[in-house]
Structure 1
C-alpha cells in the first residue's frame, strides 16, 4: 500500500469474489490507496469465480479478452495486430 504512489503504469486489479485464499478487502484497500495517490488502475470483480478463474466454465474467454483489451489500450497496440 505504501508503494501505491510510485505506480507509473496503469494496473488491472482482478479479484475473484469466491476466492477462499484472498479476501476482497485486500484488493479494495489497494484500489483505495491507488485512488488516493491518483494512480491509474482498473478493478475487475469476478463474482462466482474462485482462485482458479481460468478453470471456471464461461469465464476464460471473457477474462482473456478483457486482459488483452486492457493491454492493447495501455500499450497502444491497434486492434488489427492482435490475433494475427
Structure 2
C-alpha cells in the first residue's frame, strides 16, 4: 500500500484553476520525495482543490488552513 500525498486549496479563484494548482502542488511534493530517494511506487499523489475544506473559507485564517498538503504515510 503506497503512502499518499494530498493537496487542498481554499475557495479563492475558479474551480478549474484551484484544481490545477492543487494537482501541481501535490505532484511537486511527490517529485521532491523521489529526488530524495523514495521509490515512486511507494507513493501516490492527488490534488483535491476546493473539495475538502477543513475550515470555513469566510476568513483569511480559515483559507490559510485549507491551503495545505497532507501526508498519509504507510509504514510496512
**Structure with the higher fraction of residues in helix conformation:** 1
Q: Which has the higher contact order (CA 8 A, sep 6+)?
A: 2
TM-score bracket, normalised by the shorter chain, equals 0.3 to 0.5
**Structure with the higher fraction of residues in strand conformation:** 2
TM-score under structure 2 length normalisation: 0.35
Structure with max Cα Rg: 1
TM-score under structure 1 length normalisation: 0.33
